[in-house]
Structure 1
Amino acid sequence: MTDIKDALTLIDPANGHFLFRWFTFDDNSHFNYLRRNNYYSVIWLKQGAGKLRADFSEYEFAANDLLAFTPYQPFMLTESQPVSGVCIEFHPDFFCIHKHDKEVSCSGVLFNNIYHPPFVKIDTSTAITLDMLLGQIKAEMQNEAMAQYEILISYLKIFLITASRLKAQQQELESQDTDTKNFILQNLKESIELNFKTKHSASDYADMLNISAKALARITKTHFNKTVSNLIAERIVIEAKRELYLTNRTIKEIAYRLGYEDEYYFSRFFKTNADVSPQMYRDTVGFAKAVVNGKIMVN
């Protein structure tokens, strides 16, 4: 790993595994190659500009963009102007957005949002709040006192909620345009959410929307910078990751629940799109465990 400036890292004393990290950066050396981390990454680019490559797409980024990536989501930054900022990284064993979705509601907004770029534009008032929270996180990381984990998780939750609220507001403003193209896109989103477990081809959705496959492809490529097949694949992988983490279902059972009768075909599909096998994802990201009467129980 490239050296990072002023890194503060929390390690699980039981097994030596990484849990949480806070660091600042004043160049792009930590992000200028394709990353596929087995943990969440939240990167606040306070200065700089360039291109972000993430999943199937490429985006322009600028100063005060906050980028958010889930475990094994591929991303890479190429700078056109020197970048600097602050980053927090956390393993699902420390805090899992799926497990705590009712508390923070950031899955599908800040993270796992296949219909919008994986970043949010930070405004002046939000920047003040986030800076304060990052300062508190840094101070707590340097203070090995009682209930450190709980306090860090509380600060992290507020940070994620604040960023998610801002992104939701920005998305709401974008959706107020009610032209025909946006009507089709909204129907496409709803159709994918309702049918991604059973319908896996772009032509299925074109038929449902009563539009030609070519016309739908042009609209989605222009608006989302992705194909319909990309959107479907990303949505299936997000659900598969959620199942791998939150349940103890076998990979065969998960494959069947997602519309794949052939477990091995599903595993190849998952590895192609996540660059890791389902079993390796479960082994390295882990899956949820609850403590009952002092014993670890699989959910």
Structure 2
Amino acid sequence: MEHLFDPRRGDHAIRLSDLRTSGNAWEPSRTNYFTIYFIQSGSGRFWADTACFDFGPDSTLFFVPYQHIRLTADSPVQGKIIQFHANFLCVETFHAEVGCSGILFNDPYGIPLVQLDEETKVKAVRLIEELSTEHAEQELAFSEVMLAHLKVLLVLATRLKASTTEICVPATHDPKHPVLIELRELIEENYCTLHAPAEYAKLLHVTPKSLGRIVRENLGTTLTELIRARILTHAKWQLLHTLRPVKEIAREVGYTDELYFSRLFKKATGCSPKFFREFETEIRGGSNLSMPSSPSSILDAGGSVDTSSSTKKKSKPTEI
């Protein structure tokens, strides 16, 4: 698959390119890079899998490996694209330092966008220019310098988002949605056993229609897709960091039919669970298998959660 990073054919673990698009929808090929879009000018909408959000100038968009990305422009868009593989910077490990994985990447309950203020924008522009220079000139130790610049860029974005965004920010026309906090906790506790939106609506004492509207207006997706995204995040972690059989992982997340689970996984990632595990393990040299199989909780990653809720339960370790 030519669009996937593969060091065996000389691919670089980090790459930069220009972003220019207008009008028609643009759908880049799925990739196993983490991807950052730095929007310098223009506006439009973007899709991260099925979730849809608006974007404008001076914003950064964050996408995870194997994610389906789509972008449409209301006005011509210009910017930069930064892509890096876990071989260059392991987001899961870096998360332990700054929490970027739970805030910028891999948060099914948030919006993968950071709107830059003027001070952060100036710093981000400088860092991206320095990344571009190092990438082009490739002088002594350029990879180490690029890694340092990339880490600072992620830290700046994480700080800004953490300081300006609350968990499950409610829509402007509906200022009170504590149900989203409770829903988040319920999904974390039950995503392996409860897959139907109606089951969560019943636990929250709201109608499925009302709950679906709240999720759509605040998170840009459907409740079905929200639950499914959480299931697949768990499955991807287990496939990548353990040697457990696919059938066992499928059963753990509530699918007794391994073939159905595999079809679901391929639709979400563009590849089968077997290919995902074997390809990533081979190009990482098996380093992924040395990581813990019980990473920190998504609930802890995104910030504090209201513990006064009557539905609050102890959350299981989750994958970020």
Q: TM-score range by the shorter chain?
A: 0.7 to 0.9
1:19-74 C-alpha deviation (Å, 9 max, x unpaired)? 11022334459981254222111010100112212211322221112111111111
Q: Distance in 2 between matches of 1:196 and 1:151?
A: 41
Question: Structure 2 counterpart of 1:236, which letter?
Answer: I
Aligned to 1:220: 215
Q: Is the 8 A contact 1:26 1:84 kept in 2?
A: yes
Sequence identity (%):
33
1:82 corresponds, among 76, 82, 85, to: 76
1:134-171 C-alpha deviation (Å, 9 max, x unpaired)? 12222322444454333322221221121122122221
Aligned to 2:11: 17
Mark the CA change 1:215 to 1:25 in structure 2 (over 3 Å): closer, same or farther: closer
Question: Structure 2 counterpart of 1:95, which letter?
Answer: L
Mark the CA change 1:44 to 1:282 in structure 2 (over 3 Å): closer, same or farther: same
Instruction: Verify: 1:137 aligned to 2:131, yes or no.
Output: yes
**What SS does the aligned partner of 2:102 have?**
coil
**What SS does the aligned partner of 1:117 have?**
coil
Aligned to 1:169: 163
Q: Is the 8 A contact 1:45 1:62 kept in 2?
A: yes
Question: Structure 2 counterpart of 1:266, which letter?
Answer: F
Q: Could you state the TM-score of these two structures normalised by the residue count of structure 2?
A: 0.78
RMSD: 2.9
Q: Could you state the TM-score of these two structures normalised by the residue count of structure 1?
A: 0.83
**What SS does the aligned partner of 2:103 have?**
coil
Instruction: Verify: 1:193 aligned to 2:197, yes or no.
Output: no
Q: Distance in 1 between matches of 2:70 and 2:59?
A: 14
Aligned to 1:53: 47
1:123 corresponds, among 113, 117, 129, to: 117
Q: Distance in 2 between matches of 1:116 and 1:174?
A: 6
Instruction: Verify: 1:160 aligned to 2:154, yes or no.
Output: yes
Q: Distance in 1 between matches of 2:271 and 2:6?
A: 24
- Whose RCO is larger (CA < 8 A, sep 6+)? 2
Q: Distance in 2 between matches of 1:30 and 1:243?
A: 37
- The answer to which of 120-129 and 18-27 deviates more is 18-27
Query: Can you give the 5+ residue segments of structure 1 that lack an aligned partner in the other structure?
Result: 1-9
Q: Is the 8 A contact 1:110 1:119 kept in 2?
A: yes
Aligned to 2:310: none
Q: Distance in 2 between matches of 1:185 and 1:155?
A: 35
Q: Distance in 2 between matches of 1:49 and 1:55?
A: 19
1:99-157 C-alpha deviation (Å, 9 max, x unpaired)? 43212311231112222332111111111221222122223224444543333222212
Shift in Å at residue 285 of structure 1?
4.0
Shift in Å at residue 175 of structure 1?
4.7
Question: Structure 1 counterpart of 2:86, which letter?
Answer: P
Aligned to 1:5: none
Aligned to 1:91: 85
**What SS does the aligned partner of 2:229 have?**
helix
Instruction: Verify: 1:253 aligned to 2:271, yes or no.
Output: no
Instruction: Verify: 1:103 aligned to 2:97, yes or no.
Output: yes
Instruction: Verify: 1:206 aligned to 2:207, yes or no.
Output: no
Q: Distance in 2 between matches of 1:250 and 1:111?
A: 26
Q: Is the 8 A contact 2:21 2:73 kept in 1?
A: no
Q: Distance in 2 between matches of 1:192 and 1:243?
A: 18
Aligned to 2:234: 239
Q: Distance in 1 between matches of 2:72 and 2:284?
A: 38
1:164-221 C-alpha deviation (Å, 9 max, x unpaired)? 22122221297599x8841111100111112212221212211221222222122222
Question: Structure 2 counterpart of 1:154, which letter?
Answer: A
Q: Is the 8 A contact 1:104 1:157 kept in 2?
A: no
Q: Distance in 2 between matches of 1:262 and 1:143?
A: 51
Aligned to 1:44: 38
Question: Structure 1 counterpart of 2:241, which letter?
Answer: L
1:63-107 C-alpha deviation (Å, 9 max, x unpaired)? 112111111111111112111111111122222312432123112
Q: Distance in 2 between matches of 1:120 and 1:257?
A: 34
Query: Can you give the 5+ residue segments of structure 2 that lack an aligned partner in the other structure?
Result: 291-320
Shift in Å at residue 234 of structure 1?
0.8
